[in-house]
Protein backbone atom coordinates (compact mmCIF):
# COMPACT_ATOMS: atom_id res chain seq x y z
CA UNK A 1 0.00 0.00 0.00
CA UNK A 2 1.65 3.24 -1.18
CA UNK A 3 0.34 6.46 0.38
CA UNK A 4 1.36 10.00 -0.62
CA UNK A 5 1.65 12.89 1.86
CA UNK A 6 2.93 16.47 1.87
CA UNK A 7 6.14 17.06 3.82
CA UNK A 8 9.44 15.49 4.78
CA UNK A 9 9.84 11.94 6.12
CA UNK A 10 8.87 12.12 9.81
CA UNK A 11 6.21 14.81 9.27
CA UNK A 12 2.98 14.54 11.30
CA UNK A 13 1.16 13.58 8.07
CA UNK A 14 3.43 10.57 7.74
CA UNK A 15 2.80 9.63 11.36
CA UNK A 16 -0.94 9.67 10.61
CA UNK A 17 -0.36 7.26 7.70
CA UNK A 18 1.42 4.86 10.06
CA UNK A 19 -1.52 5.04 12.48
CA UNK A 20 -4.01 4.36 9.70
CA UNK A 21 -2.32 1.54 7.77
CA UNK A 22 -0.48 -1.54 9.04
CA UNK A 23 2.56 -1.64 6.73
CA UNK A 24 2.33 1.33 4.38
CA UNK A 25 4.93 2.54 1.96
CA UNK A 26 4.97 6.36 2.17
CA UNK A 27 5.59 8.82 -0.65
CA UNK A 28 6.76 12.29 0.51
CA UNK A 29 5.61 15.14 -1.78
CA UNK A 30 6.73 18.76 -1.80
CA UNK A 31 3.26 20.28 -2.22
CA UNK A 32 -0.39 19.31 -1.69
CA UNK A 33 -0.85 19.50 -5.48
CA UNK A 34 1.80 16.81 -5.85
CA UNK A 35 -0.13 14.52 -3.46
CA UNK A 36 -3.25 14.82 -5.66
CA UNK A 37 -1.11 14.27 -8.78
CA UNK A 38 0.41 11.11 -7.28
CA UNK A 39 -3.05 9.63 -6.63
CA UNK A 40 -4.54 10.78 -9.95
CA UNK A 41 -1.65 9.26 -11.91
CA UNK A 42 -1.71 5.98 -9.99
CA UNK A 43 1.80 6.55 -8.59
CA UNK A 44 0.26 6.14 -5.12
CA UNK A 45 -2.88 4.13 -4.24
CA UNK A 46 -4.02 6.75 -1.73
CA UNK A 47 -3.12 10.18 -0.38
CA UNK A 48 -3.60 11.55 3.15
CA UNK A 49 -4.09 15.32 3.37
CA UNK A 50 -4.74 17.49 6.46
CA UNK A 51 -8.08 19.31 6.17
CA UNK A 52 -8.40 20.99 9.59
CA UNK A 53 -6.46 21.45 12.81
CA UNK A 54 -8.15 22.22 16.10
CA UNK A 55 -5.85 25.21 16.75
CA UNK A 56 -4.91 26.34 13.25
CA UNK A 57 -8.26 25.88 11.41
CA UNK A 58 -9.31 24.49 8.01
CA UNK A 59 -6.92 24.25 5.09
CA UNK A 60 -8.92 25.88 2.29
CA UNK A 61 -6.27 25.05 -0.27
CA UNK A 62 -7.06 21.35 0.11
CA UNK A 63 -10.78 22.01 -0.44
CA UNK A 64 -9.80 23.78 -3.67
CA UNK A 65 -7.77 20.74 -4.74
CA UNK A 66 -10.66 18.37 -3.92
CA UNK A 67 -12.85 20.43 -6.26
CA UNK A 68 -10.19 20.67 -8.97
CA UNK A 69 -9.05 17.02 -9.05
CA UNK A 70 -12.46 15.47 -8.31
CA UNK A 71 -10.82 12.59 -6.43
CA UNK A 72 -13.35 11.16 -3.96
CA UNK A 73 -12.76 11.32 -0.21
CA UNK A 74 -12.36 7.69 0.89
CA UNK A 75 -12.09 8.19 4.65
CA UNK A 76 -11.10 10.45 7.53
CA UNK A 77 -8.51 10.11 10.29
CA UNK A 78 -7.99 12.13 13.47
CA UNK A 79 -4.40 12.51 14.64
CA UNK A 80 -3.82 13.71 18.18
CA UNK A 81 -0.81 16.02 17.73
CA UNK A 82 1.60 15.12 20.53
CA UNK A 83 4.80 17.14 20.27
CA UNK A 84 7.97 15.39 21.46
CA UNK A 85 11.11 17.01 22.84
CA UNK A 86 13.82 15.14 20.95
CA UNK A 87 17.56 15.06 21.67
CA UNK A 88 20.67 13.04 20.91
CA UNK A 89 20.74 9.54 22.42
CA UNK A 90 21.92 9.92 26.03
CA UNK A 91 21.20 13.68 26.17
CA UNK A 92 19.41 15.04 29.24
CA UNK A 93 16.97 17.90 29.66
CA UNK A 94 19.29 19.69 32.16
CA UNK A 95 22.00 20.11 29.53
CA UNK A 96 19.75 21.79 26.98
CA UNK A 97 20.54 25.33 25.86
CA UNK A 98 18.64 25.57 22.54
CA UNK A 99 15.45 24.05 21.08
CA UNK A 100 14.65 24.19 17.39
CA UNK A 101 11.41 23.56 15.50
CA UNK A 102 8.81 25.07 13.18
CA UNK A 103 7.52 28.38 14.66
CA UNK A 104 4.01 26.90 15.02
CA UNK A 105 5.33 23.96 17.09
CA UNK A 106 7.49 26.31 19.20
CA UNK A 107 4.42 28.50 19.78
CA UNK A 108 2.29 25.50 20.81
CA UNK A 109 4.91 24.52 23.44
CA UNK A 110 5.73 28.09 24.60
CA UNK A 111 4.89 27.59 28.32
CA UNK A 112 6.83 24.32 28.48
CA UNK A 113 9.86 25.90 26.78
CA UNK A 114 9.82 28.81 29.24
CA UNK A 115 9.98 26.30 32.11
CA UNK A 116 13.07 24.68 30.48
CA UNK A 117 14.75 28.08 30.25
CA UNK A 118 16.18 27.50 26.76
CA UNK A 119 16.67 29.64 23.66
CA UNK A 120 14.33 28.82 20.76
CA UNK A 121 15.33 28.75 17.10
CA UNK A 122 12.73 28.64 14.32
CA UNK A 123 13.31 26.35 11.33
CA UNK A 124 10.94 25.62 8.47
CA UNK A 125 9.98 22.05 9.30
CA UNK A 126 9.48 19.90 12.43
CA UNK A 127 11.03 16.74 10.94
CA UNK A 128 13.88 18.81 9.49
CA UNK A 129 14.78 20.03 12.97
CA UNK A 130 15.40 16.40 14.02
CA UNK A 131 17.50 15.67 10.93
CA UNK A 132 19.70 18.66 11.88
CA UNK A 133 20.36 17.14 15.33
CA UNK A 134 21.85 14.10 13.66
CA UNK A 135 24.27 16.21 11.56
CA UNK A 136 25.38 18.52 14.37
CA UNK A 137 25.84 15.99 17.18
CA UNK A 138 25.53 18.66 19.93
CA UNK A 139 23.79 17.35 23.11
CA UNK A 140 22.83 20.88 24.22
CA UNK A 141 20.41 21.22 21.26
CA UNK A 142 16.98 19.59 21.04
CA UNK A 143 14.15 19.56 18.48
CA UNK A 144 10.34 19.43 18.66
CA UNK A 145 8.67 16.98 16.28
CA UNK A 146 6.65 13.77 16.03
CA UNK A 147 7.52 10.44 17.67
CA UNK A 148 8.01 9.08 14.16
CA UNK A 149 10.69 11.71 13.35
CA UNK A 150 12.65 10.69 16.48
CA UNK A 151 12.58 7.02 15.49
CA UNK A 152 13.39 7.74 11.84
CA UNK A 153 16.58 9.65 12.65
CA UNK A 154 17.65 7.46 15.61
CA UNK A 155 17.19 10.23 18.17
CA UNK A 156 15.84 10.01 21.72
CA UNK A 157 12.49 11.27 23.00
CA UNK A 158 13.31 13.32 26.12
CA UNK A 159 9.63 14.06 26.82
CA UNK A 160 6.37 13.41 24.98
CA UNK A 161 3.18 15.52 25.01
CA UNK A 162 4.85 18.85 25.75
CA UNK A 163 2.19 20.99 24.01
CA UNK A 164 0.53 23.61 26.23
CA UNK A 165 -2.97 22.83 24.93
CA UNK A 166 -3.80 19.11 24.88
CA UNK A 167 -6.80 19.72 22.57
CA UNK A 168 -4.51 19.70 19.55
CA UNK A 169 -5.54 17.33 16.77
CA UNK A 170 -5.57 17.31 13.01
CA UNK A 171 -8.27 15.80 10.84
CA UNK A 172 -6.95 14.13 7.68
CA UNK A 173 -8.84 13.03 4.57
CA UNK A 174 -7.88 9.97 2.58
CA UNK A 175 -8.21 10.47 -1.19
CA UNK A 176 -8.38 7.69 -3.79
CA UNK A 177 -9.25 7.16 -7.43
CA UNK A 178 -12.53 5.42 -6.54
CA UNK A 179 -15.12 5.82 -3.75
CA UNK A 180 -14.89 3.48 -0.72
CA UNK A 181 -17.32 0.79 0.47
CA UNK A 182 -19.44 2.19 3.25
CA UNK A 183 -21.88 1.05 5.90
CA UNK A 184 -24.84 3.40 5.53
CA UNK A 185 -25.40 3.67 9.31
CA UNK A 186 -21.85 4.85 9.97
CA UNK A 187 -21.16 7.13 7.02
CA UNK A 188 -20.32 10.81 6.71
CA UNK A 189 -20.81 12.95 3.61
CA UNK A 190 -18.85 16.09 2.70
CA UNK A 191 -20.32 18.66 0.31
CA UNK A 192 -19.43 22.10 -1.03
CA UNK A 193 -21.98 24.61 -2.30
CA UNK A 194 -22.30 28.30 -3.15
CA UNK A 195 -25.25 30.59 -2.47
CA UNK A 196 -26.18 34.06 -3.57
CA UNK A 197 -25.61 36.21 -0.50
CA UNK A 198 -29.06 37.39 0.52
CA UNK A 199 -30.29 37.59 4.12
CA UNK A 200 -31.60 34.20 5.13
CA UNK A 201 -30.10 32.31 2.15
CA UNK A 202 -27.98 30.10 4.41
CA UNK A 203 -30.90 29.57 6.76
CA UNK A 204 -33.02 28.28 3.86
CA UNK A 205 -30.15 26.07 2.66
CA UNK A 206 -29.76 24.51 6.10
CA UNK A 207 -33.49 23.90 6.34
CA UNK A 208 -33.09 21.04 3.83
CA UNK A 209 -31.12 19.16 6.50
CA UNK A 210 -33.05 20.32 9.58
CA UNK A 211 -36.41 19.34 8.05
CA UNK A 212 -35.09 15.77 7.66
CA UNK A 213 -33.32 15.55 11.06
CA UNK A 214 -29.95 15.23 9.35
CA UNK A 215 -27.12 16.05 11.75
CA UNK A 216 -24.40 18.47 10.57
CA UNK A 217 -20.89 17.89 11.93
CA UNK A 218 -19.23 20.81 10.17
CA UNK A 219 -20.21 24.06 8.54
CA UNK A 220 -17.88 26.73 7.30
CA UNK A 221 -18.37 29.73 5.07
CA UNK A 222 -15.65 31.11 2.87
CA UNK A 223 -16.02 34.42 1.08
CA UNK A 224 -15.10 34.28 -2.60
CA UNK A 225 -12.68 37.08 -3.39
CA UNK A 226 -13.55 38.89 -6.59
CA UNK A 227 -17.18 37.83 -6.07
CA UNK A 228 -18.06 39.94 -3.06
CA UNK A 229 -21.65 38.68 -2.83
CA UNK A 230 -20.96 34.99 -3.17
CA UNK A 231 -19.93 32.53 -0.53
CA UNK A 232 -18.65 28.99 -0.61
CA UNK A 233 -19.93 26.68 2.13
CA UNK A 234 -18.40 23.44 3.36
CA UNK A 235 -20.85 21.12 5.10
CA UNK A 236 -20.32 17.64 6.53
CA UNK A 237 -23.34 15.62 7.61
CA UNK A 238 -23.89 12.21 9.17
CA UNK A 239 -25.40 9.79 6.70
CA UNK A 240 -24.85 8.31 3.27
CA UNK A 241 -25.79 9.91 -0.05
CA UNK A 242 -27.80 6.83 -1.09
CA UNK A 243 -30.33 7.09 1.75
CA UNK A 244 -33.72 8.53 0.82
CA UNK A 245 -33.46 11.48 3.23
CA UNK A 246 -29.96 12.55 2.08
CA UNK A 247 -30.94 12.16 -1.58
CA UNK A 248 -33.98 14.36 -1.06
CA UNK A 249 -32.03 16.91 1.01
CA UNK A 250 -29.40 17.30 -1.71
CA UNK A 251 -31.96 17.58 -4.46
CA UNK A 252 -33.83 20.19 -2.37
CA UNK A 253 -30.54 22.09 -1.83
CA UNK A 254 -29.84 22.08 -5.56
CA UNK A 255 -32.86 24.34 -6.07
CA UNK A 256 -31.13 27.28 -4.32
CA UNK A 257 -27.41 26.49 -4.66
CA UNK A 258 -25.47 28.03 -7.54
CA UNK A 259 -23.03 25.12 -7.36
CA UNK A 260 -23.32 21.87 -5.38
CA UNK A 261 -20.67 19.19 -5.30
CA UNK A 262 -20.44 15.99 -3.23
CA UNK A 263 -16.76 15.61 -2.26
CA UNK A 264 -17.22 12.13 -0.82
CA UNK A 265 -19.25 9.71 1.26
CA UNK A 266 -17.03 7.67 3.55
CA UNK A 267 -16.82 5.76 6.85
CA UNK A 268 -17.02 8.14 9.78
CA UNK A 269 -14.16 8.35 12.31
CA UNK A 270 -14.42 9.51 15.92
CA UNK A 271 -12.43 12.22 17.64
CA UNK A 272 -9.67 10.58 19.70
CA UNK B 1 0.65 55.12 17.30
CA UNK B 2 2.38 51.89 18.41
CA UNK B 3 0.95 48.67 16.90
CA UNK B 4 2.02 45.12 17.84
CA UNK B 5 2.16 42.23 15.34
CA UNK B 6 3.41 38.65 15.25
CA UNK B 7 6.50 38.03 13.14
CA UNK B 8 9.75 39.60 11.99
CA UNK B 9 10.10 43.14 10.61
CA UNK B 10 8.92 42.97 6.99
CA UNK B 11 6.27 40.29 7.68
CA UNK B 12 2.93 40.58 5.85
CA UNK B 13 1.30 41.55 9.17
CA UNK B 14 3.61 44.54 9.38
CA UNK B 15 2.78 45.49 5.79
CA UNK B 16 -0.91 45.46 6.77
CA UNK B 17 -0.14 47.88 9.63
CA UNK B 18 1.50 50.26 7.17
CA UNK B 19 -1.58 50.09 4.93
CA UNK B 20 -3.89 50.81 7.87
CA UNK B 21 -2.07 53.61 9.69
CA UNK B 22 -0.28 56.68 8.32
CA UNK B 23 2.88 56.77 10.45
CA UNK B 24 2.77 53.78 12.80
CA UNK B 25 5.50 52.55 15.08
CA UNK B 26 5.48 48.75 14.85
CA UNK B 27 6.27 46.28 17.64
CA UNK B 28 7.34 42.80 16.40
CA UNK B 29 6.30 39.96 18.75
CA UNK B 30 7.41 36.33 18.71
CA UNK B 31 3.95 34.84 19.33
CA UNK B 32 0.27 35.82 19.00
CA UNK B 33 0.03 35.65 22.82
CA UNK B 34 2.72 38.31 23.03
CA UNK B 35 0.66 40.61 20.75
CA UNK B 36 -2.33 40.34 23.12
CA UNK B 37 -0.01 40.89 26.14
CA UNK B 38 1.45 44.01 24.54
CA UNK B 39 -2.04 45.51 24.08
CA UNK B 40 -3.34 44.38 27.49
CA UNK B 41 -0.32 45.87 29.28
CA UNK B 42 -0.48 49.15 27.38
CA UNK B 43 2.95 48.58 25.78
CA UNK B 44 1.21 48.99 22.40
CA UNK B 45 -1.95 51.01 21.70
CA UNK B 46 -3.26 48.40 19.26
CA UNK B 47 -2.46 44.96 17.87
CA UNK B 48 -3.15 43.62 14.37
CA UNK B 49 -3.69 39.85 14.15
CA UNK B 50 -4.51 37.67 11.12
CA UNK B 51 -7.86 35.87 11.60
CA UNK B 52 -8.37 34.19 8.21
CA UNK B 53 -6.64 33.72 4.88
CA UNK B 54 -8.51 32.95 1.68
CA UNK B 55 -6.26 29.95 0.93
CA UNK B 56 -5.14 28.82 4.38
CA UNK B 57 -8.38 29.29 6.39
CA UNK B 58 -9.22 30.69 9.86
CA UNK B 59 -6.66 30.93 12.62
CA UNK B 60 -8.51 29.31 15.54
CA UNK B 61 -5.72 30.11 17.94
CA UNK B 62 -6.50 33.82 17.61
CA UNK B 63 -10.19 33.17 18.37
CA UNK B 64 -9.02 31.41 21.55
CA UNK B 65 -6.92 34.43 22.48
CA UNK B 66 -9.84 36.83 21.83
CA UNK B 67 -11.90 34.76 24.29
CA UNK B 68 -9.08 34.52 26.84
CA UNK B 69 -7.91 38.16 26.87
CA UNK B 70 -11.35 39.72 26.30
CA UNK B 71 -9.81 42.58 24.34
CA UNK B 72 -12.47 44.03 22.01
CA UNK B 73 -12.10 43.88 18.24
CA UNK B 74 -11.73 47.49 17.12
CA UNK B 75 -11.69 46.99 13.37
CA UNK B 76 -10.89 44.74 10.42
CA UNK B 77 -8.46 45.05 7.52
CA UNK B 78 -8.13 43.04 4.31
CA UNK B 79 -4.62 42.65 2.93
CA UNK B 80 -4.23 41.45 -0.63
CA UNK B 81 -1.22 39.11 -0.35
CA UNK B 82 1.04 40.01 -3.27
CA UNK B 83 4.22 37.98 -3.21
CA UNK B 84 7.32 39.72 -4.58
CA UNK B 85 10.38 38.10 -6.14
CA UNK B 86 13.19 39.96 -4.40
CA UNK B 87 16.88 40.01 -5.31
CA UNK B 88 20.05 42.02 -4.74
CA UNK B 89 20.07 45.53 -6.24
CA UNK B 90 21.03 45.13 -9.89
CA UNK B 91 20.29 41.38 -10.00
CA UNK B 92 18.32 40.05 -12.99
CA UNK B 93 15.85 37.19 -13.27
CA UNK B 94 18.01 35.39 -15.90
CA UNK B 95 20.87 34.96 -13.42
CA UNK B 96 18.75 33.29 -10.75
CA UNK B 97 19.59 29.74 -9.64
CA UNK B 98 17.86 29.50 -6.26
CA UNK B 99 14.77 31.03 -4.62
CA UNK B 100 14.17 30.91 -0.89
CA UNK B 101 11.05 31.53 1.19
CA UNK B 102 8.59 30.04 3.64
CA UNK B 103 7.20 26.74 2.24
CA UNK B 104 3.68 28.24 2.09
CA UNK B 105 4.89 31.16 -0.07
CA UNK B 106 6.92 28.80 -2.30
CA UNK B 107 3.81 26.63 -2.69
CA UNK B 108 1.63 29.64 -3.61
CA UNK B 109 4.11 30.59 -6.37
CA UNK B 110 4.85 27.04 -7.60
CA UNK B 111 3.80 27.53 -11.25
CA UNK B 112 5.73 30.80 -11.52
CA UNK B 113 8.86 29.21 -10.01
CA UNK B 114 8.66 26.30 -12.45
CA UNK B 115 8.67 28.81 -15.33
CA UNK B 116 11.85 30.41 -13.88
CA UNK B 117 13.53 27.00 -13.72
CA UNK B 118 15.16 27.57 -10.31
CA UNK B 119 15.81 25.43 -7.23
CA UNK B 120 13.65 26.27 -4.22
CA UNK B 121 14.85 26.33 -0.63
CA UNK B 122 12.42 26.48 2.27
CA UNK B 123 13.18 28.74 5.24
CA UNK B 124 11.00 29.49 8.24
CA UNK B 125 10.00 33.05 7.46
CA UNK B 126 9.32 35.20 4.37
CA UNK B 127 10.98 38.35 5.76
CA UNK B 128 13.90 36.27 7.05
CA UNK B 129 14.59 35.04 3.51
CA UNK B 130 15.17 38.68 2.43
CA UNK B 131 17.43 39.40 5.40
CA UNK B 132 19.58 36.42 4.33
CA UNK B 133 20.04 37.93 0.84
CA UNK B 134 21.64 40.96 2.44
CA UNK B 135 24.14 38.84 4.39
CA UNK B 136 25.09 36.53 1.52
CA UNK B 137 25.40 39.06 -1.30
CA UNK B 138 24.93 36.40 -4.04
CA UNK B 139 23.02 37.69 -7.11
CA UNK B 140 21.98 34.16 -8.16
CA UNK B 141 19.73 33.84 -5.07
CA UNK B 142 16.32 35.49 -4.66
CA UNK B 143 13.63 35.52 -1.96
CA UNK B 144 9.83 35.67 -1.92
CA UNK B 145 8.32 38.11 0.54
CA UNK B 146 6.32 41.33 0.92
CA UNK B 147 7.11 44.66 -0.75
CA UNK B 148 7.81 46.02 2.72
CA UNK B 149 10.52 43.39 3.37
CA UNK B 150 12.30 44.38 0.13
CA UNK B 151 12.33 48.07 1.13
CA UNK B 152 13.34 47.34 4.72
CA UNK B 153 16.47 45.42 3.74
CA UNK B 154 17.37 47.61 0.74
CA UNK B 155 16.75 44.84 -1.81
CA UNK B 156 15.19 45.08 -5.28
CA UNK B 157 11.77 43.83 -6.38
CA UNK B 158 12.41 41.78 -9.56
CA UNK B 159 8.68 41.07 -10.02
CA UNK B 160 5.53 41.72 -8.01
CA UNK B 161 2.34 39.61 -7.83
CA UNK B 162 3.95 36.27 -8.68
CA UNK B 163 1.37 34.15 -6.79
CA UNK B 164 -0.44 31.54 -8.90
CA UNK B 165 -3.84 32.32 -7.40
CA UNK B 166 -4.65 36.04 -7.31
CA UNK B 167 -7.50 35.45 -4.82
CA UNK B 168 -5.04 35.46 -1.95
CA UNK B 169 -5.91 37.84 0.88
CA UNK B 170 -5.72 37.87 4.63
CA UNK B 171 -8.29 39.39 6.95
CA UNK B 172 -6.76 41.03 10.03
CA UNK B 173 -8.48 42.15 13.24
CA UNK B 174 -7.40 45.19 15.19
CA UNK B 175 -7.50 44.70 18.96
CA UNK B 176 -7.48 47.46 21.56
CA UNK B 177 -8.15 48.01 25.24
CA UNK B 178 -11.46 49.76 24.55
CA UNK B 179 -14.20 49.39 21.91
CA UNK B 180 -14.16 51.72 18.88
CA UNK B 181 -16.61 54.41 17.84
CA UNK B 182 -18.92 53.04 15.18
CA UNK B 183 -21.49 54.21 12.66
CA UNK B 184 -24.45 51.88 13.21
CA UNK B 185 -25.22 51.61 9.47
CA UNK B 186 -21.73 50.41 8.60
CA UNK B 187 -20.88 48.11 11.50
CA UNK B 188 -20.05 44.43 11.75
CA UNK B 189 -20.36 42.29 14.89
CA UNK B 190 -18.38 39.13 15.71
CA UNK B 191 -19.72 36.58 18.17
CA UNK B 192 -18.78 33.13 19.47
CA UNK B 193 -21.27 30.65 20.88
CA UNK B 194 -21.57 26.96 21.74
CA UNK B 195 -24.56 24.67 21.22
CA UNK B 196 -25.44 21.20 22.38
CA UNK B 197 -25.09 19.06 19.28
CA UNK B 198 -28.60 17.90 18.45
CA UNK B 199 -30.05 17.73 14.93
CA UNK B 200 -31.38 21.14 14.02
CA UNK B 201 -29.69 23.01 16.90
CA UNK B 202 -27.70 25.19 14.52
CA UNK B 203 -30.76 25.74 12.35
CA UNK B 204 -32.67 27.04 15.37
CA UNK B 205 -29.74 29.22 16.40
CA UNK B 206 -29.53 30.78 12.93
CA UNK B 207 -33.27 31.42 12.90
CA UNK B 208 -32.69 34.28 15.39
CA UNK B 209 -30.87 36.14 12.61
CA UNK B 210 -32.99 34.98 9.64
CA UNK B 211 -36.25 36.00 11.38
CA UNK B 212 -34.87 39.54 11.69
CA UNK B 213 -33.31 39.77 8.20
CA UNK B 214 -29.83 40.07 9.70
CA UNK B 215 -27.16 39.22 7.13
CA UNK B 216 -24.39 36.79 8.16
CA UNK B 217 -20.96 37.35 6.59
CA UNK B 218 -19.23 34.42 8.25
CA UNK B 219 -20.13 31.17 9.94
CA UNK B 220 -17.76 28.48 11.05
CA UNK B 221 -18.14 25.48 13.32
CA UNK B 222 -15.30 24.09 15.35
CA UNK B 223 -15.59 20.78 17.18
CA UNK B 224 -14.44 20.93 20.79
CA UNK B 225 -11.99 18.10 21.42
CA UNK B 226 -12.70 16.29 24.67
CA UNK B 227 -16.35 17.39 24.36
CA UNK B 228 -17.42 15.28 21.39
CA UNK B 229 -21.00 16.56 21.37
CA UNK B 230 -20.27 20.23 21.69
CA UNK B 231 -19.40 22.70 18.98
CA UNK B 232 -18.08 26.22 18.99
CA UNK B 233 -19.50 28.55 16.33
CA UNK B 234 -18.05 31.78 15.02
CA UNK B 235 -20.56 34.11 13.42
CA UNK B 236 -20.08 37.61 11.97
CA UNK B 237 -23.14 39.63 11.05
CA UNK B 238 -23.75 43.05 9.53
CA UNK B 239 -25.11 45.47 12.08
CA UNK B 240 -24.35 46.96 15.46
CA UNK B 241 -25.10 45.36 18.84
CA UNK B 242 -27.01 48.43 20.00
CA UNK B 243 -29.71 48.21 17.30
CA UNK B 244 -33.04 46.80 18.43
CA UNK B 245 -32.95 43.83 16.02
CA UNK B 246 -29.41 42.74 16.95
CA UNK B 247 -30.15 43.14 20.68
CA UNK B 248 -33.23 40.96 20.33
CA UNK B 249 -31.45 38.38 18.15
CA UNK B 250 -28.64 37.99 20.70
CA UNK B 251 -31.05 37.74 23.62
CA UNK B 252 -33.05 35.13 21.64
CA UNK B 253 -29.82 33.21 20.89
CA UNK B 254 -28.90 33.23 24.58
CA UNK B 255 -31.91 30.98 25.27
CA UNK B 256 -30.30 28.03 23.44
CA UNK B 257 -26.57 28.80 23.55
CA UNK B 258 -24.46 27.24 26.31
CA UNK B 259 -22.03 30.15 25.96
CA UNK B 260 -22.42 33.38 24.01
CA UNK B 261 -19.77 36.06 23.78
CA UNK B 262 -19.62 39.24 21.70
CA UNK B 263 -16.00 39.60 20.51
CA UNK B 264 -16.52 43.06 19.11
CA UNK B 265 -18.65 45.50 17.14
CA UNK B 266 -16.56 47.54 14.74
CA UNK B 267 -16.51 49.45 11.43
CA UNK B 268 -16.90 47.08 8.52
CA UNK B 269 -14.20 46.85 5.82
CA UNK B 270 -14.67 45.70 2.22
CA UNK B 271 -12.80 42.98 0.40
CA UNK B 272 -10.16 44.63 -1.76
SS3 A26: strand
Last residue of a domain, one of B133, B150, B175: B175
pLDDT bucket at A229, cuts 50 / 70 / 90: low
Is residue A72 in some structural domain? yes
Domain end among A110, A128, A160 = A160
Give A4 to chain B, closest Cα distance, Å.
17
Same structural domain for residues A93 and A76?
no
Interface contact A228-B54, CB threshold 8 A: no
Residues of A in contact with B270 (CB under 8 A): 228
Q: Touching check for B52 and chain A: CB below 8 Å?
A: yes
Question: Which residues, in sequence order, are CB contacts of A242 under 8 Å at separation 6+?
Answer: A184, A265
Of B166, B221, B224, which is closest to A218 when you measure between CB atoms? Answer: B221
B91 and B142 inside one domain: yes
Residue A227 has pLDDT above 70, yes or no: no
Measure the CA–CA gap between A63 and A31, rounded to whole angstroms: 14
Is-contact A229 A197, C-beta < 8 A? Answer: yes
* B194 and B156 in a common domain: no
User: Residue B260: beta bridge partners?
Assistant: B193
Least Cα separation, residue A122 to chain B (angstroms):
6
Question: pLDDT tier at A176 (50, 70, 90 boundaries)?
Answer: very high
Cα separations in angstroms, B137 against B98, B140, B141, B142: 13, 9, 9, 10
Q: Does A221 touch chain B (CB under 8 A)?
A: yes
Partner-chain contact B226 A167, CB within 8 Å: yes
Residue A36 annotated in active site: no
Nearest CA in chain B to A226: B167
How far is Cα B249 from Cα A102, in angstroms, rounded to an integer? 43
pLDDT in tens, chain B (272 residues): 999 999 889 999 999 999 999 999 999 998 899 999 999 999 999 999 999 888 778 888 899 899 999 999 999 999 999 999 999 999 999 999 999 998 788 888 988 999 999 999 888 789 989 999 999 999 999 999 999 999 999 999 999 999 988 888 899 999 999 999 999 899 999 999 998 777 788 899 999 999 999 988 899 988 776 665 677 899 999 999 999 999 999 999 999 899 999 999 999 998 77
- Say if the Cβ atoms of B200 and A218 lie within 8 Å: no
In this structure, the answer to whether residues A109 and A49 fall within a common structural domain is: no
Residues B138 and B153: their CA atoms lie apart, in Å, by 15
Residue B254 belongs to domain spanning: 184-267
Contact B221 A222 (CB under 8 A): no
> B92 and B75: one domain?
no
| CB-closest option in B168, B209, B220 to A220 | B220
Q: Is pLDDT above 80 for A42?
A: yes
Q: Do B125 and A103 touch (CB under 8 A)?
A: yes
Q: Which residues of B are catalytic?
A: 170, 172
Pair (B239, B192) in one structural domain: yes
Report the residue from A124, A207, A225 with minimal CB separation from B122: A124
Residues A68 and A92 placed together within one structural domain of the fold: no
State whether B260 and B191 are in the same domain: yes
**Same structural domain for residues A12 and A75?**
yes
Residue A169: list chain B partners with CB under 8 A. Answer: 225
**B112, B144, B175 - which closes a domain:** B175
Nearest chain B Cα distance for residue A22, angstroms: 26
Contact partners, residue B195, CB within 8 Å, separation at least 6: B201, B202, B205, B230, B231, B233, B256, B257, B258
| B46 assigned to some structural domain | yes
Q: Do A76 and A107 have their domain in common?
A: no
Q: Look at residue A272 and tell me if it is in a domain.
A: no
Cβ separation B222–A124 shorter than 8 A: no
Give the count of domains, chain B. Answer: 3
| A20 lies in the same domain as A58 | yes
Whether residue A122 and residue B122 make contact (CB cut-off 8 A), yes or no, is: no
Beta-carbon pairs below 8 A across chains A and B: 134
CATH label of the domain that carries residue B146: 3.40.190.10
Q: State whether residue B230 sits within 8 Å of chain A by CB.
A: no
Confidence (pTM) = 0.85
Does the residue B137 lie in any domain?
Answer: yes
B77 — phi, psi (to 5°)? -145, 130
Question: Is A226 an interface residue toward B (CB < 8 Å)?
Answer: yes
> A92 CA to chain B: closest CA distance, Å?
27
- The stretch A46-50 carries a mean pLDDT of 97
3-state secondary structure of A18: helix
Residue bearing the bigger pLDDT, A62 or B229: A62
Select from B180, B173, B221 the least CA-distant residue to B197.
B221
Together in a domain, A37 and A89: no
- Chain B hits for A197, CB-CB cut-off 8 Å, are 215
Tally Cβ neighbours within 10 Å of residue B111.
12
Q: Is residue B272 part of a domain?
A: no
| Interface mutation target, options B216, B229, B237, B252, chain A, most CBs of A under 10 Å | B216
Tell me, yes or no, whether B16 lies in a domain: yes
User: CATH number, domain at B224?
Assistant: 3.30.70.260
Amino acid sequence: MKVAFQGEPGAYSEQAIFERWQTPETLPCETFDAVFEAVASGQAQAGLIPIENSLAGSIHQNYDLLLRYQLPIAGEHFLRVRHCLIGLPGASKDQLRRVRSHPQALGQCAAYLRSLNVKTEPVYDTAGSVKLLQTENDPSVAAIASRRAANLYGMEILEEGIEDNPENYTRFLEIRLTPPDIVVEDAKTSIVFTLKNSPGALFKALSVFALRDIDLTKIESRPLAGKPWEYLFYVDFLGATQTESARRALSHLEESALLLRVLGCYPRARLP
